[in-house]
Amino acid sequence: MSKTILTPDLCIIGAGSGGLSVAAGAAQLGLETVLLEKAEMGGDCLNTGCVPSKALLAAGKRAQMHRKDDIKGIAAHEPKIDFSAVKDHVFETIATIEPNDSPERFRSLGVNVILEAGEFTAPDTVVAGDYIIKAKKFIIATGSRAFVPSITGLAYEKVFTNESIFDLREKPEHLLIIGGGPIGLEMAQAHRRLGCAVSVFDMGVILPRDDQKNVEIVRDALIKEDIALHENVSIQEVKHGANDVTLVIERNGQVEEVTGSHLLIAAGRTPNIDNMGLEKANVKFDHRGIIVKDNLKTSNAKIFAIGDAAGGPQFTHVAGYHAGVIIRQVCFGMFWAKVDYTALPWVTYTDPELAQVGLTEAAAKEKYGEGNIKVAEWHFDENDRAIAEKITKGQVRVVTNNKGLILGASIVGAQAGELIGMWALAISSKQKIGAITAMIAPYPTLGEVSKRAAGAWYTPSLFSDKIRRIVRFLKHFG
């Protein structure tokens, strides 16, 4: 049977966040667009990542609210939890969002959706099922999958990753998690609050990329909820039993064993670039992903790569950002459009949340020197709204140069993910700290913590002896 030849303006391989954004924009702007997807529309984020994890976290947070006894007059009690029904909530959440990413919706926008895997057979040709596609431009947006490390005794079919953990209907009695990054810690807290014992293992410290003073607040919160954190350990072996699993770990020269009922691997991601014929397309890649320039072009000028497949920061919002860079280039001819991660925010959705944008204090000191930066902070327990709602664990830490240019901000506390956006805008627009102090913040809101942190930047100089002398002098002139 002969194959159908297509010659669109654009062929996108992968219908995750980045691929869908490019497809929708390009088609509505008049480009003939083909979108290939071999699995589920919406990619990892919708089906096995951001959406189901936040739904599970929400269930855990609701359960935890019943246990709180911090407001007088409200009796705390242990909630009745139906673990299997909680998973119904997770999949109902996915189903509610799913139509936005469906083949029908994108076809209605003018996208030619083909539910097949795409493989390059030449630098300008992709084969997908019964189609041969010779596009003017190609976008590789195939995302990533869970990385499963090579550990003695580990049987892949007996462990869970983010791609399978949400299908687990029986409540784990004791969930062991390898990986102390955002995914591992979010799943740890969600399962602990839903009634599971949880132990987390990491070869280093948890959340190493974040502000470590704020990470300490998250660490304390997790330990307080009886989540066992095993940091700075090496996993020597995995022993799978009939109804349990044991990790043999080494810490400071001492070997010990921890046994649980289920094992979740959350040890990072690996790009989905296998079996794509990248060599035939003259596209260079390594273990991190496809090698791209700052305009997201690969070594083949006709081919771009975006999102996790491009080997950069692995966040859904980065894939969406990449899509905007691509649209500017392929639709509007803005060949100078390129990526800039200076104001890239990220959030770990534990409770309390941990959010970061720009440089941490440690990174700023390394880049500019300790004497060339200033750090200001403000605590949630000094915020009236936080006090009223009993959510006082947290703080804002802001990093600037000596002239007040904002270099980074880190927030730990309630709604940190919502609060970090203002700092991202400030950094992207190259604002100084004075722009935040000049802002009028509504009262009482958690948002005031940012304004107060900015104000704290001026405190050492504003209330100095020099300023007091100036004020006394000006007083004589009325």
pLDDT, tens digit, for every residue of 257-302? 999 999 999 999 999 999 999 999 999 999 999 999 999 999 999 9
Tell me, what's the pLDDT at 460? 72
The per-residue pLDDT for range 157-215, each reduced to its tens digit, is 999 999 999 999 999 999 999 999 999 999 999 999 999 999 999 999 999 999 999 99
Give which of 348, 346, 335, 181 is closest to 268, Cα–Cα: 181
Answer yes or no: is 52 within a domain: no
Give alpha helix (H) positions in 378-438: 384-389, 416-428, 433-437
142 & 214 share domain: no
Do 452 and 388 reside in the same domain of the chain? yes
72 in a structural domain: no
Domain that includes residue 431, residue range: 345-465
**Both 446 and 318 in a single domain?**
no
pLDDT digits (tens, 9 = 90+) for 44-74: 999 999 999 999 999 999 999 999 999 999 9
Choose between 174 and 474: higher pLDDT. 174
DSSP 285-331: EETTEE---TTSB-SSTTEEE-GGGGTS---HHHHHHHHHHHHHHHT
Stretch 341-350: mean pLDDT, rounded? 98
180-to-137, 156, 208, 227, 230 alpha-carbon distances in Å: 39, 19, 9, 12, 9
- Could you tell me whether strands 345-348 and 112-114 are parallel, antiparallel, or unpaired per DSSP bridges? unpaired
Residue 251 to residue 235: CA distance in whole angstroms? 9
* Dihedral-angle region of residue 176 (phi above 0 means left; psi in -120 to 50 means alpha; beta otherwise): beta
pLDDT surpasses 90 at 475: no
Q: Which of 103-112, 374-383, 462-471 has the lowest mean pLDDT?
A: 462-471
Q: What is the pTM of this model?
A: 0.94
Residue 93 lies in a domain: no
Sign of the Cα torsion 107, 109, 112, 114 reads negative
Residue after which a domain boundary falls, among 268, 290, 321: 268
Nearest residue to 64 (alpha-carbon basis) of 266, 261, 352, 262: 352
- Mean of per-residue pLDDT scores for the chain: 95
Residue 164 forms part of a structural domain: yes
pLDDT at 474 over 70: no
Both 178 and 284 in one domain: the answer is no
Q: What is the pLDDT of residue 478?
A: 60
* Within a domain: 227: yes
pLDDT reported for residue 298: 98
Number of domains in the chain: 3
Residue 340 has pLDDT above 60, yes or no: yes
Helix ranges (DSSP H) in 177-299: 182-193, 212-224
Name the band, by pLDDT with cuts 50, 70 and 90, for residue 461.
low
Domain co-membership, 161 together with 254? yes
Nearest by Cα to 256 from 204, 201, 177:
201
Evaluate if residue 383 carries a pLDDT over 60: yes
352 shares a domain with 323 = no
Residue 296, pLDDT score: 98
Residues 405, 377 within the same domain = yes
Question: Quick one: pLDDT at residue 465?
Answer: 58
User: What pLDDT shows up at residue 2?
Assistant: 85
Residue 195: give its domain's CATH number.
Answer: 3.50.50.60
Structure-block tokens of residue 465: 């002896």
Q: Which of 231, 246, 268 is the last residue of a domain?
A: 268
Cα(163)–Cα(365) distance, integer angstroms = 38
Q: Domain with 447 in it: what CATH number?
A: 3.30.390.30
Of 281, 306, 330, the position where a domain reaches its end is 330
Mean pLDDT of 439-451: 96
How many CB atoms within 10 Å of residue 420? 24
User: Would the pLDDT of 149 be above 80?
Assistant: yes
- Report the distance separating Cα 211 and Cα 214, nearest Å: 5
**466: pLDDT strictly greater than 80:** no
Q: Which residues contact 452 (CB under 8 A, 6 or more apart)?
A: 378, 382, 383, 396
Asked if pLDDT for residue 410 goes beyond 70, the answer is yes
337 in any annotated domain: no
What type of residue is 290?
A: I
pLDDT above 90 covers what percent of the chain? 95
- In this structure, are 26 and 142 located in the same domain? yes
227 plus 356 within the same structural domain: no
The dihedral through the CA atoms of 113, 117, 120, 125 has a sign that is negative
Through-space distance between the first and last CA atoms of the chain, rounded to whole angstroms:
94
Residues 204, 242, single domain; the answer is: yes
Distance CA(252)–CA(181), nearest Å, equals 22
Instruction: Please report how the helices 83-97 and 50-67 are oriented relative to each other, as an axis angle in degrees rounded to 10.
Output: 140
- DSSP β-bridge partners for residue 65: none
Q: Which amino acid is at 206?
A: I
Q: Are residues 141 and 290 in the same domain?
A: yes
Question: What integer pLDDT is reported at residue 462 of this predicted model?
Answer: 55
CB 285 within 8 A of CB 272: no
Residue 473 pLDDT > 90, yes or no?
no
Assess whether 127 and 183 both reside in one domain: no
The reported pLDDT for the residue numbered 464 is: 53
Nearest CA to 109 among 31, 184, 172?
Answer: 31
Per-residue pLDDT tens over the stretch 218-270: 999 999 999 999 999 999 999 999 999 999 999 999 999 999 999 999 999 99
Q: What is the pLDDT of residue 140?
A: 98
Q: Domain for residue 277, yes or no?
A: yes
Across the chain, how many H-helices and E-strands are there? 14, 25
Does some domain include residue 314? yes
Q: Are 361 and 399 in contact (CB under 8 A)?
A: yes
70, 195, 361, 407, 435 from 420: Cα distances, Å: 27, 31, 16, 13, 15
How far apart (Å, rounded) are the C-alpha atoms in residues 332 and 30? Answer: 11
Those residues whose C-beta lies under 8 Å from the C-beta of residue 164, and which sit 6 or more positions away, are 48
- The H or E element containing residue 146 is strand 144-146
- Calpha distance 235→159 (Å, rounded): 15
Which run of H or of E encompasses 265?
strand 262-265
